[in-house]
Chains A and B, each alone.
Chain A
Amino acid sequence: MTQESTKPLAPATGSSPKTTGSTSRRKRGKVGQETTNWPVMIILFLCSLTVLLPLYVTISMSMKSTKQAVDGNAFSLPAPFDFSGFAEAWELTNFPVTFTISVLVTIGSVVGAVLLSALASYAIVRNWEHRLFRYSFFYLLAAMFLPFPVVALPQIQLTGLVGLANPVGVTILHIMFQLSFSILLFTAFLRSIPLELEESARIDGATTWQTFWQLIFPLLAPMSATVAIFAFLASWNDFMMPSLIIADASQQTIPVVQNIFQTQFSTNYNVSFASYLMAMAPAIIVYLFTQRWVMEGVTQGAVKG
């Protein structure tokens, strides 16, 4: 499961940056020289429009004047370019506050998910022969079978009771729902780290605490990146949990605020789309810089999980 499992994945991820348009194993045997399959490329370009058009609409609508946007023509170019939609959306949704709350919830979720699951995974893998640790593994993993709607009502009730019907409560729940997936990835990775590495550190007198922070945690970095990016996407984009848990609408996260202000946006499409764009942009920007880990994470999560 450990070393074997990472190998079939390596081509998938390793090939993305390097073998572009050149030699993937399959083609080498067949054509010898690279010939581009143009019909397929044209079809792919057309298909990519289904992804790009909604994004184009979002961007162009957000830059129109209210007068132009109201005609409902999604595909026209902005004429003239008018950025007042952004200013209005910024004011209306109280963007600085909303954004700060979303950022804090997301940072908390990412840091919490990485630290808690890395520590727990290390304890589990190194003490597998002890029942408590072994059973904890299956216990924590069982949450993968538990959809949020099943526990939502009692969670709303309990967070209300203990004063966590706020962004802090959402952060905690985001971390908890991210644990299964993260622990699965970390334990698989930890099992592939040779034990000799640690033993030499221990013979040199390092405690478990020092071994973890100085040796293991740095080794986990690539896996931490994957865990982090998934915790980021899950937390930043989540609508269901904050909308149900956070009681005070003025403390809501960005996706929920889009819903709250639907009626106030009304037909001021330039304002609403400016607001949508400000909600999407951070995730897309982070994605563009972390594509590799996103792609690795999906494959590894599916194949291991």
Chain B
Amino acid sequence: MTTPITPASASAGSLVDKTEHGQGDHIAGSRSKRGKPRVDPVYYLFLLPTLILFTLAITLPAILGIFYSFTNFIGFGDWELVGFTNYIAVFSDPAILSSYAFTFGFAIVTVILVNVIAFLLAVALTSRIRLKTPLRAVFVIPMVISGIVIAFVFKFLFSNSVPAFGSAAGIGWLSESILANENLAWLAVVIVTTWQSIPGALLIYIAGLLSIPGEVYEAADIDGASAWVRLRSVTLPLVAGYVLINVILGFKNYLNAYDVIVGLTNGGPGTSTRSIAMTIFTGFTGGDYAYQMANATIFFIIAVIISILQLRLTRGRAALS
């Protein structure tokens, strides 16, 4: 998300295209009055189907959903406008507030864990080692496995192997399944999500580390910097942009948590691991469609704020783009 083709730079680039393209078109004698080359109708054929489908499949539902959040629609039948009633109710609904608390807490812990582990792994995988390619390939595997399927595998481990180990080692709280423990179940969600999310962050860190010129390290070596000082004062500042990308991209993903939770705990025990997405989906069967659309709209606003923050923070990091 560094500089996603800022309008300024992109149109500056296309100015050149325009003049060149203009000449090309001039040969064919097709220029509109304003001097812009006329658009070949085929281009509309290329773009419009996608544009129309996208509008029908995504924009229309989004607008419809936001509209319904101001009504008392229950998913079918009659409805009337109720203003901000749903929004006010959402803010005082303990079930929804606790799902936000859980999801944000989970996302923050996961983001920290994923980034610390992925960064250290990336440093290790770019150091002087053998078997780099096979090792890297192994560490990327979790990324290609379905979240719910791996969650089922871990569920088995958490309810059989971990308690067996816990009681053998005499650790009280580990001798029972942490999935059944209201205070610990979130930890299982964090562990599996971390397991699955490390590859993405890892690959980005590896790219970041490989973009640091070797001379920088030579200079550090001449100054007699220790490995730790090198990591902290040379490597980390130089990959700061990549850290930022990973933290924000990851955080946004974890806020959508669903698959892994369904597989591990299905929101339980009680509602202790119910995520925002899970509460929203209850609107489909629970008869409070409009109410959960208000929840979804708030969630959307949060997602937009995070995205704007991301664009602000990453803009101008030329080193990355």
Report which A residues bind B (CB closer than 8 A).
1-2, 4-5, 8-9, 11-13, 15-17, 19-21, 24-31, 34-37, 40-41, 43-44, 47-48, 50-52, 54-55, 57-58, 61, 72-75, 116-117, 119-120, 122-124, 126-130, 132-134, 136-137, 139-141, 143-158, 172-173, 175-177, 179, 184, 187-188, 191, 195, 199, 202-203, 207-209, 212, 233, 236-240, 244, 254-255, 258-259, 262, 269, 272-273, 276, 279-280, 283-284, 286-288, 291, 294-295, 298-299, 302-305
Contact = CB atoms under 8 A, between A and B. Distances in A.
Contact of B321 (A1, A29, A155, A237): A1
A149 B280 contact: yes
Interface residues of B, number: 122
Given A152-B281, A176-B57, A298-B200, A28 B214 contact: yes
B182 interface: no
Which of A11, A36, A147, A176 is packed against the most chain B CB atoms within 10 Å? A147
Given A130-B36, A153-B292, A212 B46 contact: yes
A150 B14 contact: no
Contacts of B156: 57, 61, 72, 74, 269, 273
Contacts of B5: 1, 137, 187-188
Given A25-B214, A149-B280, A36 B128 contact: yes
Contacts of B299: 147, 149-150
Given A1-B5, A153-B65, A128 B210 contact: no
A172 B57 contact: yes
A30 B217 contact: yes
B88 interface: no
Nearest to B195: A50
B164 A72 contact: yes
21 contacts: A1-B3, A24-B210, A30-B217, A34-B128, A41-B131, A44-B125, A47-B124, A74-B157, A129-B18, A133-B39, A143-B58, A147-B299, A149-B277, A150-B303, A151-B62, A153-B283, A154-B60, A154-B64, A157-B61, A208-B43, A295-B140
Nearest to A157: B75
Contacts of B262: 239, 259
Given A29-B215, A54-B153, A155-B61, A240 B50 contact: no
Given A57-B153, A153-B281, 17 more contacts: A9-B207, A24-B126, A29-B215, A120-B46, A120-B51, A123-B46, A123-B47, A148-B256, A150-B300, A154-B61, A157-B289, A240-B277, A276-B152, A280-B150, A283-B144, A302-B246, A302-B249
A147 B65 contact: no
Interface in B124-165: 124-133, 135-150, 152-154, 156-157, 160-161, 164
A127 to B, nearest CB: 5
B307 interface: yes
B148 A255 contact: yes
A184 B141 CA distance: 25
B91 to A, nearest CB: 18
Nearest to B36: A129
Contact of A294 (B121, B143, B259): B143
Q: What 4 pairs between A and B have smallest CB-CB spacing?
A: A154-B61, A12-B207, A237-B146, A72-B160
Interface in B178-225: 195, 199-200, 203-204, 206-207, 210-215, 217-218, 221
A16 B134 CA distance: 10
A60 to B, nearest CB: 12
Given A299-B207, A304-B2, A207 B51 contact: no
Nearest to B128: A37
A293 to B, nearest CB: 12
A21 B53 contact: no
Which of B138, B212, B304 is packed against the most chain A CB atoms within 10 Å? B138
B231 interface: no
Contacts of A203: 24, 27
A123 B43 contact: yes
A21 B157 CA distance: 35
Nearest to A210: B42
B210 A15 contact: yes
A295 B152 CA distance: 26
Nearest to B215: A29
Nearest to B302: A147
A147 B145 contact: no
Nearest to A233: B144
B267 to A, nearest CB: 13
A303 B320 contact: yes
Contacts of B124: 40, 43-44, 47
A195 B207 contact: no
Given A21-B130, A149-B280, A239 B51 contact: no
B321 A302 contact: no
B85 interface: no
B96 interface: no
Interface string B4-37: 1111011101110110110010010000000011
Nearest to B255: A147
Contacts of B49: 116
Contact of B47 (A2, A119, A305): A119
A284 B146 CA distance: 10
B36 to A, nearest CB: 6
Contacts of A276: 149, 152-153
Which of B10, B213, B252 is packed against the most chain A CB atoms within 10 Å? B10
